[in-house]
Structure 1
Amino acid sequence: MMQSSSVIDLLGRPLGVLRLSLTARCNLACPYCCPDSVEPQGLLSTLDQLRLIHSACALGVHTLRLTGGEPLLTDRLWPLLEALSVGRATPGHPLSRLKDLAITTNGSLLDDAKAQQLRALGVDRITISLDAVDAESIARMAGLRRGAEAGLELFKRVLAGIDAARAAGYEPDQGALKLNAVIQRGRNDDQLIPLARLARQQRMELRLIEYMDVGNRNGWCLDQVMPATEMIQILHSHWPLQPIGRQPGGTSSQWLYQDGEGSIATIASITEPFCSDCNRLRITADGQAFTCLFASEGIDLRRWLRMDVSDSELAEVMTQLWTGRSDRFSEDRGLMQVGNHHAEMAYLGG
């Protein structure tokens, strides 16, 4: 089953990153992501997850990102990490090809014990999501019903989570701890400077994400998208920036603060699509494989996870899935009909 190089899709894009969702549930209800929190039926077992990761690594995956929902909300995280840790440390094992293991969390459940455990089990990077600094704005973006009071409580928990991650050895200066923020015009665009100021104080890279048309119930419209170029212009007027660019296969374009106080990045899926070198495969908590974040439906892999199906058969199915891939929705967005059905963000794992 081991292969010497990545499988290539119809547009010449190699498989490199696997985003595996552990749960569709979340303790927040951000309207752009998770209008409700419903777990799908038929969740993958730890063995199922490992078989999929093994096959993906044999086909060229070098980076695994664990997502949700909120991955820290499920106890299924820990046995998976334990098994990954053993495999990555075993020479010749498919998992030894896994060079980067990351997790995305809203940070509210990240305490000292969990951060230390993540570190001990080999998680290399943590990305924490926070869409505002002002308490009322936090509550609005997180879907919290108690307003500013709940927003302030969440903000304090996220800051405590950042402190816990740093204490566990996740160094922002080494790219091991980053901050994500979705910016939606008319809802939290006034938080752009406060978020950047917070990230600078915390020495964390802030990744500003354009509001995306993922899902069907978030009320997305183009007028609510603040283009990445506009965000950078606003920030540049406060703190001059120097462009670095985007790494091949990466999702973010980067800038350095000219005063030496770290960096900032933008993820511009709407206005500056990066489909041409997208190398990401997404698998949901119930085993649906999506080759595009904006896809309407996935391919159910569970039938190939039965015990009577060999690992080589599973790898062949995943190979066919990737080599037959030609999607580039963001580049084609202007040619698509309005109202296309998309899977929900919390289900896909972002």
Structure 2
Amino acid sequence: MTCASPALTLDQHTRPLGVLRLSLTARCNLACPYCCPDSVDPPVMLTLEQQLRLIRVAARLGVHTLRLTGGEPLLSDRLMPLLAGVADGRRTPGDPLAGLRDVALTTNGVLLSEQRAKALKKTGLDRITVSLDAVDGAVAARMAGLRGGRIAGEGLVQQVLAGLVAARDAGFNPAAGALKLNAVIQRGVNDDQLIPLAELARSQQMELRLIEYMDVGNRNGWRMDQVLPAELMVQRLAERWPLSPLGRNDGGTARRWRYHDDVSDVGVVASISEPFCGDCNRLRITADGQAFTCLFAAQGTDLNPAMGSDQELEQAIRALWQRRSDRYSEERHCKADPVPRAEMAYLGG
């Protein structure tokens, strides 16, 4: 038996459902001020069976990419059993999970030990994206919300660098896009780390993704003057290393560039200055089963009542996506008053 092609599920702007970002926990072992993670998880969490049901139903509705997030997903004891269940489905003809082209993980890298990286690779994970917002110890500590200043920050950087080495050694090849580095850039806070971060990524032949500081949630005190536009980031890098544009893939978040010396690529995620709502294909589901059709949404849709069967859940997700009309980033400057929004760590970024 072969796996049937997934149904094309379109929203109000004819955007297909393509990417599922599933949060495994709202907790994190760092306290980045732009993210403001929770110290505890929601009281009722999705079970492993429910998570697998969600992923399988989403794949039936057209999802081709699964990204596991947090908080910090390596804190979750559900991660490895979930990956094992997904891997089993991907190997089974006729299972909707066989249609998944990509299974990825976003982590801060602190817990990415040699043993953990090997286990992730063995259990079927395709890609890892590691977040690091500074190379300098003092700046890294500030961006991660660490006490202890430079010394604590230098320790963090060394842990993340060790995690990158562990991931590479485990078979996550940066040259093939299986290992990437993310950095949120905040004007006047860590924008002096652009060149050092690029030097680090280039030394690892790894793609660096630079993310504009975003107005997600209510706790981070976001202001527009703290945003360094992606165009300026690219200009600064190009002054040091000439770049050629590669464009942005349909449904992708990053506009990408290639260094002229072909060492690696760099991408910029410009949801503030250059919104890409027009082909956004991402559905976010939190650790307690709330579905969000936009990173900037005020509230989600509770999927728990529909967890009784695949059919109920499929109907709920299809209906949710078909009525979706979100395009907050394109409309941001037309909004008269700010509205409460869910926090980034809860949503899984």
TM-score, normalized by length of structure 2? 0.98
Runs of 4+ in 1 over 6 A off after TM superposition: none
What are the within-5 Å matches in structure 2 for residues 89-104 of structure 1?
89-104=91-106
Q: Which moved more, 1:270-279 or 1:335-344?
A: 335-344
Q: Is residue 330 of structure 1 aligned with residue 332 of structure 2?
A: no
The whole-number CA distance in structure 2 between the counterparts of 1:256 and 1:250 is 16
Residue 105 (structure 1) aligns with? 107
Per-residue displacement from partner, 1:118-170 (whole Å, max 9, x unpaired)?
10111000000000000000000000011111101111110000000000000
> 3-state DSSP class of the match of 1:127?
strand
Residue 219 (structure 1) aligns with? 221
> 3-state DSSP class of the match of 1:294?
coil
> 3-state DSSP class of the match of 1:114?
helix
Q: Is residue 123 of structure 1 aligned with residue 125 of structure 2?
A: yes
Q: Is the 8 A contact 1:16 1:280 kept in 2?
A: yes
Q: Is the 8 A contact 1:6 1:16 kept in 2?
A: no
Equivalent position amino acid for 1:325 in 2: R
Residue 25 (structure 1) aligns with? 27
Equivalent position amino acid for 1:73 in 2: L
The whole-number CA distance in structure 1 between the counterparts of 2:119 and 2:37 is 30
> 3-state DSSP class of the match of 1:115?
helix
Q: Is residue 345 of structure 1 aligned with residue 344 of structure 2?
A: yes
What are the within-5 Å matches in structure 2 for residues 25-174 of structure 1?
25-34=27-36, 36-174=38-176
Per-residue displacement from partner, 1:242-287 (whole Å, max 9, x unpaired)?
1110000000000000122111000000000000000000000000
Give the drift of 1:216.
0.1
What are the within-5 Å matches in structure 2 for residues 183-194 of structure 1?
183-194=185-196
Q: Is the 8 A contact 2:27 2:37 kept in 1?
A: no
Residue 273 (structure 2) aligns with? 271
Give the drift of 1:2.
6.4
Give the drift of 1:35.
5.0
Q: Which moved more, 1:29-38 or 1:5-14?
A: 29-38
Q: Is the 8 A contact 1:9 1:323 kept in 2?
A: yes
Equivalent position amino acid for 2:152 in 1: A
The whole-number CA distance in structure 2 between the counterparts of 1:193 and 1:164 is 24
Q: Which moved more, 1:29-38 or 1:177-186?
A: 29-38
> 3-state DSSP class of the match of 1:47?
helix
Give the drift of 1:338.
3.2
> 3-state DSSP class of the match of 1:181?
strand
TM-score, normalized by length of structure 1? 0.98
The whole-number CA distance in structure 1 between the counterparts of 2:274 and 2:148 is 36
Match of residue 232, structure 1, among 231, 234, 246:
234
Per-residue displacement from partner, 1:70-106 (whole Å, max 9, x unpaired)?
0001111111111111111001101101110000000
> 3-state DSSP class of the match of 2:318?
helix
Q: Is the 8 A contact 2:26 2:38 kept in 1?
A: no
Per-residue displacement from partner, 1:178-213 (whole Å, max 9, x unpaired)?
000000001000000000011000111000000000
Give the drift of 1:3.
5.9
Q: Is the 8 A contact 1:205 1:263 kept in 2?
A: yes
> 3-state DSSP class of the match of 2:184?
strand
The whole-number CA distance in structure 2 between the counterparts of 1:56 and 1:4 is 9
- The 3 A distance-change label for structure 1 pair 2 and 301 is farther
Query: Between Structure 1 and Structure 2, how many residues are aligned?
Result: 347
The whole-number CA distance in structure 2 between the counterparts of 1:194 and 1:219 is 26
Q: Which moved more, 1:333-342 or 1:25-34?
A: 333-342
The whole-number CA distance in structure 1 between the counterparts of 2:125 and 2:48 is 17
What are the within-5 Å matches in structure 2 for residues 277-316 of structure 1?
277-305=279-307, 309-316=308-315
Gaps of 5+ in 1: none
Give the drift of 1:38.
2.9
The whole-number CA distance in structure 1 between the counterparts of 2:6 and 2:185 is 40
Give the drift of 1:36.
4.0
Gaps of 5+ in 2: none
The whole-number CA distance in structure 1 between the counterparts of 2:261 and 2:312 is 54
Residue 10 (structure 1) aligns with? 12
The whole-number CA distance in structure 2 between the counterparts of 1:339 and 1:319 is 29
- The 3 A distance-change label for structure 1 pair 18 and 4 is closer
CA RMSD of aligned residues (A): 1.1
